[in-house]
A and B are shown apart, each in its own frame.
Chain A
Amino acid sequence: MAERIGGDALRVTRDVGIGATDYPSRVTRHTLRISSGEPDFVRRVEELSGEDVFACYQCGKCSAGCPFTSGMDLLPAEVLRLLQLGDERVLSSRSPWVCASCLACEVRCPKGVDIAKVMEALRLLILRKGETGLTWREIPPGVPQIALVGATRKLTP
């Protein structure tokens, strides 16, 4: 349902399916505010990634082909959907930290959204506050430097 909440802003209330494992509930009642602009963090994700998250039409191809979904709390398409809704829960999702930028989604997205860039932007929002996505007590023995450099570059400030 939709109601006018002043000026040209509309409030749309609808059910949004959330299908990921471990997410609080499989169906969440959502309030979508359509107004003159999206929240700052969504705009920032779009700036950092250079991608239009509103281009996504939820076909789910990215989620179907993603080899890392078993470790994700939100599927890639759900990450995009929450961004479209301006839902801040996307900022505390584990999914961007499980994404390995393998670009399987990028080559298949029919709308040309580079989802790996969106995931990177979500990581950067956290990393640029000085927080880290990589905690280790010791460097795992035998792991080559190509992995260590990759992990520290993607997952630490």
Chain B
Amino acid sequence: MSNEAKAFIAPRASHVARHAADKSPSRVTRHALPYFPGCALKDQARGFERAAQAAMERLGYELAELPRWNCCGTVYSLSSDDLMRHVAPVRNFIRVQELGERRLVTLCAMCYNTLRRSARFVSTDPERLQRINAFMDEEPDYAGGVEVLHLLQLLRDEIGYEEIEARVERPLYGLKVAPYYGCMLLRPREVGIDDPDRPETMELLFEYLGAEAVDSPHKVECCGAYQTVANPEIARERVLEIVGAAARRGADLIVTSCPLCTYNLEHHQLSVPGDASHVTGDKSSTRHALPVTRHVIPILYFTQLLAFALGAPGEELGFEQAAVDPRPVLAQRVGG
């Protein structure tokens, strides 16, 4: 992290005032961070947001929802001439700027990637930014400089895993967790939060929480993403490989950092009938027409497992929305 960024996160007067009103003796400061939810965290994935709020509160932070935020655009435009696709991200950056803030935290890997790449795209060429500003004539100009962060970066680089470990109330001893990164947190390299082929951000986090991290060869491979709409069979094939590899290595559950990955993993793993092994894949393609065993394991968001380990009560964990209930395996392994 840059010194500039470090200076920005130093406690400020408003945080001290907030702390004075906070009765909890365990909280030293309370940082309010501008937070960009995006569509998923406000709809089918709202339990992941609730869990994030619960976890961050226990770590002395508040995720303060960005006023008047709008859709990030979901997917980053890969075309050189498509300035229009950067209007939505830039409008969000203007909201951050209006707060006098410099950072924007997301929980969603898709939002993270789209916003972070757009911030980079407009900051590397003043002429592009000037054209976008001119187009949005009802808005103040965006001056540049907003830094987009995924919550995992904040946990790792600013709060630190040792600090998190010190606040664990339910250590995850005995639990085997397979982290699944997917694409958008790691690629391209210039916005990736870790090594694109050998990330360990989540492995370390869950080890500090007491769990055993299970490595899987498919943890950085695409889940099928939006192809789940047009070509669900492709997404299904991806998911069965990903879930099968984690399950065969003994994972009790898979932990994700993207709501779309979560949906795909949950949805498509359940598409294999439970009665017997059978053949999946495109029947015309011999390469993938292999027998597939049904593997069904719980898919949790990283915020859920973090909040669980930090002792958040059941109603703040969102476990009830999971397609495969994680509570039995957590009770069995951890005694949750």
Is there contact, CB below 8 Å, between B234 and A147? no
Is there contact, CB below 8 Å, between B188 and A147? no
- Chain A hits for B282, CB < 8 A: 70-71
Does more than half of chain B's interface fall in helix, strand or loop, or is it mixed? loop
Is there contact, CB below 8 Å, between B43 and A104? no
A137–B282 alpha-carbon span in the complex (Å): 21
Contact of A147 among B73, B233, B260 (CB under 8 A): B260
Contact of A67 among B44, B229, B238, B281 (CB under 8 A): B238
- Chain B hits for A119, CB < 8 A: 78
Q: A118 CB to closest chain B CB, in angstroms?
A: 9
**Which of A5-13, A29-37, A149-157 faces chain B?**
A149-157
Known: A67-B238, A70-B287. A151 touches B187 (CB 8 A): no
- Chain A hits for B234, CB < 8 A: 68, 70-71, 98
Is there contact, CB below 8 Å, between B43 and A145? yes
B230 beta carbon closer than 8 Å to chain A? yes
Q: B282 CB to closest chain A CB, in angstroms?
A: 6
A103 beta carbon closer than 8 Å to chain B? yes
- The tally of CB-CB contacts under 8 A between chains A and B is 150
Interface size range of chain B in the complex: 35 or more
Is there contact, CB below 8 Å, between A153 and B188? no
Q: A100 CB to closest chain B CB, in angstroms?
A: 4
- Chain B hits for A107, CB < 8 A: 186-189, 192, 196-197
The number of chain A residues with a CB under 8 A from chain B is 46
A21–B288 alpha-carbon span in the complex (Å): 12
Q: B112 CB to closest chain A CB, in angstroms?
A: 13
A43 beta carbon closer than 8 Å to chain B? no
Which residues of chain B in 35-77 are interfacial with respect to chain A, using CB atoms and an 8 Å cutoff?
Answer: 38-40, 43-45, 71, 73-77
Contact of A149 among B39, B77, B263, B285 (CB under 8 A): B39
Is there contact, CB below 8 Å, between B188 and A102? no
A7–B195 alpha-carbon span in the complex (Å): 50
A141–B30 alpha-carbon span in the complex (Å): 41
- Chain B hits for A24, CB < 8 A: none
The residue on B at minimum CB distance from A133 is B230
Which residues of chain B in 203-248 are interfacial with respect to chain A, using CB atoms and an 8 Å cutoff?
Answer: 220-222, 224-234, 237-238
Is there contact, CB below 8 Å, between B43 and A144? yes
B259 beta carbon closer than 8 Å to chain A? yes
Is there contact, CB below 8 Å, between A22 and B284? yes
B202 beta carbon closer than 8 Å to chain A? no
Q: A122 CB to closest chain B CB, in angstroms?
A: 11
Which residues of chain B in 251-265 are interfacial with respect to chain A, using CB atoms and an 8 Å cutoff?
Answer: 259-260, 263
Is there contact, CB below 8 Å, between A49 and B187? no
A123–B239 alpha-carbon span in the complex (Å): 25
Contact of A48 among B73, B79, B85 (CB under 8 A): B79
A38 beta carbon closer than 8 Å to chain B? no
B81 beta carbon closer than 8 Å to chain A? yes
Is there contact, CB below 8 Å, between B260 and A104? no
A138–B225 alpha-carbon span in the complex (Å): 19
A1 beta carbon closer than 8 Å to chain B? no
B80 beta carbon closer than 8 Å to chain A? yes
Contact of B222 among A48, A67, A97 (CB under 8 A): A67
Choose among A21, A139, A146, A154 the residue with the greatest number of B CB atoms under 10 Å from its CB.
A146
A62 beta carbon closer than 8 Å to chain B? no
- Chain A hits for B310, CB < 8 A: none
Is there contact, CB below 8 Å, between B229 and A70? no
- Chain A hits for B110, CB < 8 A: 146, 150
Is there contact, CB below 8 Å, between A150 and B225? yes
